[in-house]
Structures are given as structure tokens and as C-alpha cells.
Chains A and B, each alone.
Chain A
Amino acid sequence: MNTRELTRIAVLAALLYVIQFVGSFILYFEWVNFTILLYGVYLKRKEAWLSVAVFSLLVMLTRGIAPWSIMYLALFPQYTLIYSFFKNKIKSEYIYAFLGFVLAFLCGTLIDLPYMLTAGLGYEALIFRLLAGFQVSLGNGIVTFVSTLFLLKPLKKVFALTRY
């Protein structure tokens, strides 16, 4: 890996970190999933995976090593692989928007999974926690859906410009 590739990965990871940090102040609005979708679809697989992995490590370094931050590392780089898998097979932004919605909706519950499995929650408490999480996940999912629908194709030009 040369210096240019390392620098690009660092910049892409930093950009994602800024997007995550800004979004962390607003409950239903986050662009992390949409940005990961863009990386997965428009970057080389290795570059996308490493950028998101570095981003997840940055989150762990700055916010602490906790079950949720470990889940970032376990989950988000793998999301780029899913998007990357489809990038030469699917051209429709509608399908990407749907896929983005599903993955963004699932990520909240998946990140919360270690807590739910280890806290020994009773049945009712588990249902309440899942439902409260689903409310936030619906917001995150629809933001990813609408962003993908309207911005996926226009942003292709931006990523094409940065290609080397």
C-alpha cells in the first residue's frame, strides 16, 4: 500500500468520523449509514473496508472501548462488503435505497445486541427496549433511504473526480 492510498483511507475515515460526530447530537438523523453505502458502492472494496475500519477504531479510541464501539468495528466494515458485492450487479438507486434502509434499520439493534444478550433482561423489558430502539432505527433508516434515492447518483461524479 503506497502513501497516496494510506492518505486517502485516513481522509475518508476522518470524514466519516466528522459525519458521525455531528450526527450524534441529533436523535433521528444520521448519515453514517449513507456514507458507508457511498464508500461501498463507489470505492474499491479494500479502500472502503479499510476506511470504515479506521473510522471504527477512531470511535473506539476517542469514545472508549465499550460493547457498542466494538460492535461498530464488527458491523460497519462488513456493511461495505455487502454494498461492494452488489455494486456491479445493481444500478438502480431504488434498490440501493431499500438495501440502505434495511441495513440502517438493523444496525441499531445489532449494536445493542451485546447488551441485550448479557443484561439478563426479562421478556417485557426486552420488548420495550427493542420497540424503543425500532423508533430510532426507523428514523435512521428513512434518512438513509431518502438520501440514497436523491444523492447516490449525483455524488457518483464527486467520487469519480477523486479517483486516481
Chain B
Amino acid sequence: MKKSNTFKLGVAIVAILIVAAGYFAINNFMSGQKGSKTIIVTIKDSTTSKTLVDSKKYKTDAANLGDFLAQYKDELGVQMETSKYGRFVVGLKGIKTEDMNKGPWWMYGYESPSQNITMKVGEAPGVDTLGINDKDKVEFVFMNFAAK
């Protein structure tokens, strides 16, 4: 291998390592608390104004909301689809988005007292991106437009 190519390879490896460190630092920042925790879930259908689950507590070891939903798939009737950005919720408690272009869709808000974070319904990131912590509250709403 030519000397210039060896140097180039070294630069590329160093750059990849720096970027990987940045990636995992962000991942670490966004990940939730490890171990057992309690999550408080509310599920509403705004199209019929019904509350399907009202502030019910769930025990979990899941690190993020996607894993938590997978854990309680049967009890909450969770249906998720996978995109290249991760999983997203299409159905809860037997209510499913029939037309992804027109809605209504499942959106959710998030409140974490321990992290001092509050996100309104429609503002929270993808379920695989959102790390969860003890006593976090998640409110799922089946709706057409995000609350402002």
C-alpha cells in the first residue's frame, strides 16, 4: 500500500472513531434510566372523546418507549410499523390508523418529572428515540392534528 493511502486510511479511521463517539454520546444522553421503573400511561381517542386507559401504572425494565410498548403489546393492543427511522405506533387498544396520509394518527405527549422534561402531544420524538425514566407519564391520543 502506498504511503499516502496508509495516511488516508488512518485519517478515515480517526474520523470514523470521532463520529462514532459523538453518535454514542448523543445516544447516551437520550437513553433512559436502566433497571426497573414505573410508567404512567393514558390513552385517549379524541375522535370519540373516550379515555381508554386513564393514568394506569406499568412496571418495566425497558430502556425506551418502543421497547415498553413491545413489552405490553397484548395488554395495550399495540401495533407498530417499522420505518428506517425506527418503529412508530399505528394502533392501540384496537383503534388503528387506516389511512396514513389522512389520519387520524396516534400521537403522544411525554412528561418526565425526574428529567424535568415536558413535551406536548405531537411533539415527542419516535418511540425508539425516547428513553424512559421512573414515574414518566405518556399520553397517547388518537387525533387528526397535533395540539399546539
Judge whether B120 and A142 touch: CB under 8 Å: no
Query: Given A132-B125, A149-B12, are A125 and B120 also a contact pair (CB < 8 Å)?
Result: yes
For B23, the chain A residues whose CB sits under 8 A away are 135, 138-139
For B29, the chain A residues whose CB sits under 8 A away are 131
Partner of A131, one of B11, B15, B26, B146: B26
Partner of A132, one of B15, B16, B30, B117: B30
Judge whether A131 and B30 touch: CB under 8 Å: yes
Query: B14 → chain A, closest Cβ, in Å?
Result: 11
Chain A, residues 134-164, CB within 8 Å of chain B (1/0): the string is: 1100110110011001100000000000000
Stretch at the interface among A2-10, A52-60, A116-124: A116-124
Chain B, residues 1-42, CB within 8 Å of chain A (1/0): the string is: 000000010011001100100110011011000000000000
Partner of B12, one of A122, A125, A150: A150
Interface residues of A in 33-73 (CB under 8 A from B): none
For B126, the chain A residues whose CB sits under 8 A away are 132
Query: A52 → chain B, closest Cβ, in Å?
Result: 24
A-B pair count, CB < 8 Å, reads 61
Judge whether A141 and B120 touch: CB under 8 Å: no
Q: How large is the interface on B (under 10, 10 to 19, 20 to 34, 35 or more residues)?
A: 20 to 34
Partner of B129, one of A124, A128, A150: A128
Most buried by A among B12, B85, B148: B12
Chain A interfacial residues counted at CB < 8 A: 25
Query: B101 → chain A, closest Cβ, in Å?
Result: 10
Interface residues of B in 111-147 (CB under 8 A from A): 117-120, 123-126, 129-130, 146
Query: A13 → chain B, closest Cβ, in Å?
Result: 24
Query: Given A26-B84, A128-B30, A132-B125, are A141 and B118 also a contact pair (CB < 8 Å)?
Result: no
Q: How far is the CA of A26 from the CA of B16 in the complex (A)?
A: 18
Judge whether A149 and B8 touch: CB under 8 Å: yes
Judge whether A27 and B85 touch: CB under 8 Å: yes
Question: What are 22 residue pairs bridging A and B, where the CB atoms are less than 8 Å apart in the complex?
Answer: A25-B84, A27-B85, A122-B120, A122-B123, A124-B118, A125-B125, A128-B125, A128-B130, A131-B30, A132-B125, A132-B126, A132-B129, A134-B26, A135-B26, A138-B22, A138-B23, A141-B19, A142-B15, A145-B15, A146-B15, A146-B16, A150-B12
List the 5 shortest-distance A-B pairs measured between CB atoms, nearest first: A125-B123, A142-B19, A27-B84, A124-B117, A125-B119
